[in-house]
Structures are given as structure tokens and as C-alpha cells.
Amino acid sequence: LQSTSSNDLQLVSEYYFFHSSGQDINDFPLPDVNLIGEHSDAAELGRMLQLILGCAVTCEQKQEYIKTIMVMEESVQHVVMTAIQEVPSVLDLCLICFQLKKTVEELNDALATKEEIAQRCRELDLQVAALQEEKSSLLAENQVLMERLNQSDSIEDINSPAGRRHLQLQTQLEQLQEETFRLEAAKDDYRIRCEELEKELLDVKSQNEDLTSLADEAQSLKDEIDVLRHSSDKVSKLEGTVEHYKKKLEDMGLLRRQNKLMEEKNTALMQTNVGLEEELRKANAAKAQLETYKRQVVELQNRLSEESKKADKMEFEYKRLKEKVDSLQKEKDVQHVIRLQHENKMLKLAQEGSDNEKIALLQSLLEDANRRKNELETENRLINQRLMEEQSQVEELQKNLQEQGSKADDVSKCLYSCTRTVLCVIPMLFPLSVQRVEELEEALKKKDEDMKQMEERYKKYLEKAKSVIRTLDPKQNQGSGPEVQALKNQLQEKERMLHSLEKEMDKTKSQRDHEEKLIVSAWYNMGMSLQKKAAEDRLANTGSGQSFLARQRQATSTRRQYPGHAQSATAR
């Protein structure tokens, strides 16, 4: 990963050097990215940093980077400058700018130092003037004292006050003379330093002017190179544009020929559409009646299924009650046997016991048997009553089913007659055979595909022509203005014609789909009527020896098998 990143960084640096400075860096020893990624080699990392520094001082933000370098320590600046100078592809303009920046900063430092020295000289001049005034005052005082000394005691006598004062003043005078001499020497040194700085300032100004002229010259050369590069790019683009226009003009001839062929095909399709519209108007007349018959059949089938469900439910309830009656009858027989066994045992016991006990026991057993008999009789009476009610409901349901069956027979007969009528009308409405219809559908699909392909190609050529007309130079096309306008008018007419063809094609597709739906619905209705008739025939043949509920179950199973048969008939 480090090797890949270092390689990418090296490639970016080389690309930037070549495109920013216009020079090649083949002479410079490029860093080995493998050594950097595997061993972090210091020498290779140094070369990589030299490339990055070269990019930094040649980019658009070079002023900021140069300022950052100038802020560093002098030793670091020296190392950075040495590294930059070792890269042969760094422009002289970069070094000149760097030296110019450094020279300007030195000039500013020299000017600041000059101002400080001048200020110091002024301070020293003021100090010398003050010392001279003090010296003059001291000389005047010395003269006064000398006069006093002449008038008074001799100053040579050290023990006298005048001698002591004279000695003190003499030492003070010597100190002031030494201070004055020292200040004059410092003044001379500062004056010499100021003259040297003025000379250096003049040299720096001359160097600055030379560097400025070189920088202006380099900038002008760089601007000329950019202008020439832009001009060469523009010339190559214009040559490519001319070739592109030639190809587009060749495509225009093909577009015109294809447009003529498309107009001929459009005329044939319009004639076909007119014939199909006439056939569709004839077929729409029978659609409403077929829909009403279809809805009536669906409603009757739903009602018939509901009645059959009710009948099945009543039959199940009847079976459940019958099973309950049988179980009660069996229980009654078991109780009767148990009672007889019990009486038999009691009779045997009675023969062994007394007559009174026998009579009492027989009476209790008789009462229990009578009570159980009464309970069973009441329960049997309720069950018989429930059976009578269920039987009456079953008879009512049978009557309703017979009525619904008669209505369904009437509707099926009517539907069958209507289906036969529709099947007779369909050959009159559509005189073509099934094979002819399939051939026409295949031809129509092929024409639709051809129309789509022609439409796509026409749109492409149209966009090409528009782009050619938009991008043509008005100065070069002043002589061909009427021809271009004529081409534009032709293109607009072709667009309008294409839109009209698309609308007519959509209408044709919708009409074809509608006709297919009508044919499918007619086949479905015919299959349903035939299936209904076959089911009725089977019920009539097998219904003589069966009960009503058995016939209803058979009809229900037939209806459950009906959808699959209808689908197979539709598929056929």
C-alpha cells in the first residue's frame, strides 16, 4: 500500500512538473518507490521530498510556500534552497522569485538598520551638543574659579580647599574628555557603517531591478507559450470539426433516401389501418350484447353455487341428527336389557326373601323404568320434531334449486343461441381465415419493428442535422443560407409526419388488441356453453337412479372441474 501511494505521488509530481514548467526531469535521479515502501530508505525519501518541494515552488500558491520557507531558520532555509536547486527542471523563474524575495527582505532589514543608525547618530549629536554646552559651562566656571584662585590661596596646595576643588574638577574634566573621545569614535564608526549600508542598498536596488526585469521577461514568455498552446489546440479542434461536418453532410443524403422509403411504407400502413377500422366498427356492435349475457351467466352461477352449499349443509345436519337418533336407540336397547337383567336378579333375590320386600323392590324398579321411559319418549319426540323441521327445509331448498336450475337452463339456452349467433357473425365480420389473420399479425409486427428502427435512425439523423446547422459558422455559410433554410423546413415537415405516423401506429396497436380480446371472449363463451350443455347431459343420464343430494354433489364436482376445461378450450 505504501509503495502504491509513493508511486502515485511520484507520477503526480512528474506530471505536474511537465505541465507546469514544460520541462522534462529525465536527468534527475527519480526515487525508488519500492525501497520507500519496503525499507523507508532515507535517500529515496529525500529525492521524493525534492520533487514535492519543486512542485510547491512552481505551483500557483508558490508565494505562500516561499513565505513559509523564509520564516524558517537560516540553516533550514539553506538546506531547502540546496534541495530545490538540485532539481534540474525547476524553472529559473522560481529561483529568481525566491532570490528576489530574500533580497527584498534584506533590503527592508538594511533600511530599518539605517533608520536605527540615523536615529542613534541624532541622539549622539544631541548628546555631544549637551556635553559641549556642559564643557563650555565648566570652562567658564573653571575660569571663574581660576580667577578666584588667583585672588585667594594657591591651587597647588592640595590641603587647601581651592586645591582640593581644583583636583576634583581636573579629574572630572579628564573623565568628560574621555567620554567625549569615546562618543566621537562611536559616531565615526556609525557613520562608516551607514555609508557601507547605503552602498549595499544601492547594490541591492540594482539587483532588484535586474531580477524584476528578468521576472517580467519570463512571465511574458510564459504567456506567449500559453497563447501558442491554446492556438494549436484550437486548430486541431477546428480540423476535427470540419471532418465531422463532412461526415454529417454524407449522412444527410442517406437520410433523405430513407425518408422517402418511410413515406411509402407509411402510405401502405394507412390503407391497412383504414380497413381495420371498418372491421372494428362492425365488431363493436355485438360487444354490448355479449357483455350482458356474460354478466347474467356469472350471476346465475354464483346463485347456484350458494344454493348447492346450503343443500350440502342441510344434508350434513340431517346425517348428524340421524346418527344421534341411532345412538339414542342403541342406548335405549342397552337400558332395556340392563333393566331386564336387573329385574331378573331381583326376582331371584325375591324368591329368597320375603314377599313384602319383593313387592317394594319391584315397585321402585318399576318407577325407575317408567321415569327413564318417559325421558326417552320426550327426547325421541323432540328429535322427531327436529327431523320434521329439517325435512321441510330440505324440501324448500329442493324447490328453490329446481327453480334456479330451470332459470339457469333458460339462460344457458339463450347464451348458447347467442354464442352460435356470434360464431356465425364472426366469419361475416372477419372474412379472413385464421391463417390469414396470423400472417397479417406477423406482417404488422415486422412493420412495427421497421417503423421503430426507422424512427430511431431518423431521430439520430435529425439530431445530427440540427447540431450541424447550429454549429456551422455563419461567416462560412453566408452563400448557403437558402439551402440551409430549405433543409430546416424539410426537417420540420418530416418531424410532423413522423409524429402523425406514431399516433396512427398507436391507434392500430390499440385496435389490434381490442380485436384479439373480442376473439378470445367469443371462444371462451362458446367453450363455456358447450361445457354447460355436456354437464346437463351427464346429469340427465345419471340422475334417474340417484337422490337429489347426490345429483347436487355431482353437479358441484363438475363445476369444480369446469375452470381447467375452460382454460384448455381457450388455449385451443
Tell me the pLDDT tens digit for each residue of 270-299: 777 777 777 777 766 666 666 776 677 677
Per the CB < 8 A criterion, the answer to whether 221 and 127 are in contact is no
CB 95 within 8 A of CB 84: yes
- In this prediction, residue 491 carries a pLDDT of 63
> How many helices and strands in the chain, by DSSP H and E?
12, 0
Residue 512, pLDDT above cutoff 80: no
Q: Find the length of the chain.
A: 572
Angle at 14 between CA 9 and CA 18, to 5 degrees: 150
> pLDDT-based confidence at 248, cuts 50/70/90?
confident
- The whole-number average pLDDT for the span 340-361 is 63
pLDDT score recorded for residue 115:
84
What distance in Å separates the CA atoms of residue 128 and residue 181, rounded to the nearest whole number?
10
What pLDDT, on a 0 to 100 scale, did the predictor assign at position 15?
44
Given a cut of 60, whether residue 362 has pLDDT beyond it is no
In angstroms, what CA-CA distances link 571 with 115, 521, 567?
A: 111, 12, 6
Q: What is the pLDDT of residues 454-503, one digit of tens each?
A: 667 656 656 665 665 566 544 444 444 565 566 667 667 766 766 776 77
Q: What is the pLDDT of residue 467?
A: 65
Asked whether residue 382 carries a pLDDT value surpassing 70, the answer given is yes
The closest of 549, 528, 90, 33 to 316, measured between CA atoms, is 549
Taking residues 382-408, report their average pLDDT: 64
Please state the rounded mean pLDDT for residues 425-445.
Answer: 55
In this model, does residue 196 exceed pLDDT 80?
Answer: yes
- pLDDT tens digits, 32-56: 666 666 667 677 777 777 777 777 7
Between 92-151 and 161-283, two packed helices, what is the crossing angle to 10 degrees? 160
Secondary structure of 59-115 in the HEC alphabet? CCCHHHHHHHHHHCCHHHHHHHHHHHHHCCCCCHHHHHHHHHHHHHHHHHHHHHHHH
Contact 246, 478 (CB under 8 A): no
Q: Looking at the predicted structure, is the pLDDT value of residue 424 above 60?
A: no
The predicted-structure confidence for 112-131, as pLDDT tens digits, reads as follows 888 888 888 888 888 888 88
CA angle 364, 365, 368 (to 5 degrees): 90
Cβ atoms of 96 and 211 within 8 Å: the answer is yes
- pLDDT level of residue 430 (50, 70, 90 thresholds): very low
Mean pLDDT over 539-546 rounds to 57
The string of pLDDT tens digits covering residues 516-538 is 777 777 777 777 777 777 777 77
Return the pLDDT at 536: 76
Q: 48 and 10 in contact (C-beta within 8 Å)?
A: yes
Which residues are CB-contacts of 393 (< 8 A; sequence separation ≥ 6)? 314
At residue 22, the pLDDT reads: 46
Sequential DSSP letters for 480-540: THHHHHHHHHHHHHHHHHHHHHHHHHHHHHHHHHHHHHHHHHHHHHHHHHHHHHHHHHHHH
Q: What is the pLDDT of residues 137-178, one digit of tens each?
A: 888 887 887 777 666 555 555 666 666 777 788 888 888 888
Q: Please say if the pLDDT value at position 384 is more than 60.
A: yes
Give the DSSP H or E segment for 39.
helix 33-39
Residue 307 has pLDDT above 60, yes or no: yes
Report the pLDDT averaged over residues 373-395. Answer: 69
Which tops the pLDDT comparison, 438 or 320? Answer: 320
Assign residue 61 a region: left if phi > 0, alpha if psi is -120 to 50, beta otherwise?
alpha
Q: pLDDT at position 29, please? A: 57
Domains of the chain: 1-138 (1.10.418)
At residue 561, does pLDDT exceed 50? no
Q: pLDDT tens digits, residue range 205-241? A: 888 788 888 878 877 777 777 777 777 777 778 778 7
Q: pLDDT value at position 151?
A: 61
By C-alpha distance, which of 169, 177, 179 is closest to 140? Answer: 169
Rounded Cα gap, residues 563 and 572, in angstroms: 14
pLDDT 10s digits, 81-120? 777 766 654 445 455 556 666 777 777 888 888 888 888 8
**pLDDT band with cut points at 50, 70 and 90 for residue 435:** low
Question: Average pLDDT of 399-419?
Answer: 57
Mean pLDDT of the chain: 68
CB 197 within 8 A of CB 117: yes
Give residue 91's pLDDT.
44
pLDDT at 157: 58
Q: Please give the residue that has the higher pLDDT: either 557 or 287.
A: 287
> How much is the pLDDT for 16?
47
Helix (H) or strand (E) holding 133: helix 92-151
φ, ψ of residue 87 to 5 degrees: the values are -80, 115
Choose between 394 and 182: higher pLDDT: 182
